[in-house]
Structure formats: structure tokens, C-alpha cells
Amino acid sequence: MSSNSSQAPPSRTPGPFDGPQWPYQAPRSTYVGVAVLMGTVVACASVVNGLVIVVSIRYKKLRSPLNYILVNLAVADLLVTLCGSSISLSNNINGFFVFGRKMCELEGFMVSLTGIVGLWSLAILALERYVVVCRPLGDLRFQRRHAVSGCAFTWGWALLWSVPPLLGWSSYVTSCGPNWYTGGSNNNSYILSLFVTCFVLPLSLILFSYANLLVTLRAVRAAVQARTLAGGAGPELQSCRVVLGHALPWAGLGCAAPSFLVFLLNPVIAVEGVRGFLKAPTWVKPNQLWPNAPFLLCSHQLLC
């Protein structure tokens, strides 16, 4: 008998649920490095988003209808952190997905759901500011029912587009996200629909709203300058400053929105977890807290 027959068969790469992927996909040090980054993401995002939620609940003056969508955004981003980034942290610590295939599918569903909620929250936020500042509907007074309807829409729309992979229209795969890379009419039709309804539409709404906001603010500025030259810069100047201070930070969020495409349609990366590190909401959230004077004051009171 040949001596080769007594040799052990060559080892093969374990499956994503079977055991550590190092050194097959990347060195163990790479996984450790990504785990440190993901740990930073989880800690910072949990604190900042949690702080937004806590101060909004504790201080009545922050519970205005225009702030509802901010809390909705913070809730969605906190869930992204808990359901996505924290699991990515565990994956990189262990080198593989330790929770099994079903939990992987559940993670894909929750991350897609909360990601869509986050992006559409940015769109609704921009639309609300456009309606309040530019007054396309006349003297419509933005009330609680409008704010609640906007928040409910984000969750309903997100459910509409995150449930189909669980029912057979495409699927959630081992990358813990939508199956964008397999191909075929079933997968391609879903990915195209997801791209249009959960990226193109909200991004277009964001761009439209902030473009009109900037046009309106420019007109206000010109009018204020004219009155200043005439010696009568009144409350319009203060109003302009308030609107600019409130709108421009959200324009930054709107510009950051394209990174949600990575979040929803990410390519397969050698190291699991980099996908979570790229999620926009966990990093742009300070943009909503610190330039906002009421949030800043209430946060200071809460912590000090």
C-alpha cells in the first residue's frame, strides 16, 4: 500500500459557521485589529445614541414634534449597533459566526431594517425642515400627528423591503446581508428594487429638500443685507442664523447618506466586521447632538 494512503487528507477552509477563518481569509492579527475598531464603534455609538434618547425622554422641552424624527434616527442607529456592530465584534473576536445560520439571517434582517429606517429618517428630517422653513404648503403648522406619521412611515417602509428575503424574494446569506452577488432574476430584481426605493428615493428627497432650503436661506440673507444697509436689521437676521445653524448640520448628514449604500449592498470583504465599521449612522450621530444647543444643554445637565 502506498505511503500516501496513510497521510491525512489536505485541510480545507472551514465554513463561516464551523470555525475560525484565520489564517485562510486573513491573519489572526487582522481580526484582532478589526475587533478593536468594532469595539470602539459599539462603545461610542451606544453612548452617543443612548444619550440622545435619554435626554429626549427626560427633558420635556426636547420633545417637540420636529425632534421626534431625531429620536427615531437615534433608536434605529442604536439598534444597528446592537444587532449589527456588536455581532461583528463577536465575529472578529472568535474568527467566525458563532451564533449559527438562523441568527445570521436574523442579523441580516435587523441590520437591513434599521439601516433603511435610518436613511429614510434622514430623508423625512430633510423634508420636515423644508416644509417648515420654505412653507410650500402655506401656513401649515407642523404638529405631533405629522411627526408620528413620519416616524411610522420609516418603519413601515423598512419592513416592506426587509421582509421579502425571509419569504423567498432573494435571501439573507452568510455575509449577514442581502444576497446581492449570486445573480439571477430573483436576486437581481430585489437588489434593484431595494436600490431604487431605499437609496435613490430618499437621497433624491434629501438633495431636493436641502437645495430648496439653501435657496430660501440665500434669499433671506439677501433681504437681511438689504435691510442692514438701510439701517434696519431686525429679527430676520436672528431668524436666518437660527435656520442656518439648524439646517446645515443636517445637510452634512444628507451628504453622508451615500455611505448607506455600503451598509445595504456591501461587497464580500475578507474580514467580517469591516462592513459594520463603515456604517454611517454610528459615526455621524454627533452631528445631531453637539451643534444643537438644547441637546447640548440638556446633555450637560444630565451628565453633570
Model confidence at 180, pLDDT cuts 50, 70, 90, reads: confident
Decide which of 238 and 257 is more confident: 238
Residues 156-178: tens digit of each pLDDT: 999 999 999 999 999 988 777 78
Instruction: Give yes or no for a contact between 201 and 126, defined as CB atoms under 8 angstroms apart.
Output: no
Residue-range definition of the domain harbouring residue 126: 16-303
Calculate mean pLDDT across residues 289-304: 58
Do you know the residue count of the chain?
304
| Residue 219, in any domain of the structure | yes
Average pLDDT, the chain: 76
Residue 30 lies in a domain: yes
Q: Is the per-residue pLDDT at 139 higher than 60?
A: yes
281 within a domain of the structure (yes/no): yes
Q: Which three cell numbers stand for residue 256?
A: 453622508
**pLDDT tens per residue, range 195-218:** 999 999 999 999 999 899 888 888
Residue 1 lies in a domain: no
CATH number for the domain including 195? Answer: 1.20.1070.10
Q: Is the peptide bond before 23 cis (omega within 30 degrees of 0)?
A: yes
CA distance 80 to 75: 9
Give the 3-state secondary structure of the chain: CCHHHHCCCCCCCCCCCCCCCCCCCCCHHHHHHHHHHHHHHHHHHHHHHHHHHHHHHHCHHHCCHHHHHHHHHHHHHHHHHHHHHHHHHHHHHHCCCCCCHHHHHHHHHHHHHHHHHHHHHHHHHHHHHHHHHHCCCCCCCCCHHHHHHHHHHHHHHHHHHHCHHHHCCCCECCCCCECCCCCCHHHHHHHHHHHHHHHHHHHHHHHHHHHHHHHHHHHHHHHHHHHHHCCCCCHHHHHHHHHHHHHHHHHHHHHHHHHHHHHHCCCCCCCCCHHHHCCCHHHHCHHHHCCCHHHHHHHHHHHC
In a domain, 268, yes or no: yes
Does 282 reside within a domain? yes
Residue 237 has pLDDT above 60, yes or no: no
Q: What percent of the chain has pLDDT over 90?
A: 22
Mean pLDDT of all residues in 22-49: 86
Per residue in 10-34, pLDDT tens? Answer: 456 777 777 787 877 788 888 888 8
Partner residues linked to 172 by β-bridges: 178
Q: In terms of pTM, does the model score above 0.85? A: no
The 10s digit of each residue's pLDDT in 69-115 is 989 999 999 998 888 888 888 888 888 888 888 888 888 899 999 98
User: Of residues 66 and 281, which shows the higher confidence score?
Assistant: 66
**How much of the chain exceeds pLDDT 70, in percent?**
71
58-67, 162-171, 252-261: which has the minimum mean pLDDT?
Answer: 252-261
Confidence (pLDDT) at 216: 87
Given this model, what pLDDT does residue 304 score?
61
Q: Is residue 297 part of a domain?
A: yes
> How many structural domains is the chain composed of?
1
Per the CB < 8 A criterion, the answer to whether 16 and 73 are in contact is no
**What pLDDT was estimated at residue 285?**
47
Contact 210, 126 (CB under 8 A): yes
User: What would the mean pLDDT of 252-260 be, rounded to a whole number?
Assistant: 46
pLDDT bin (cut points 50, 70, 90) of residue 294 is low
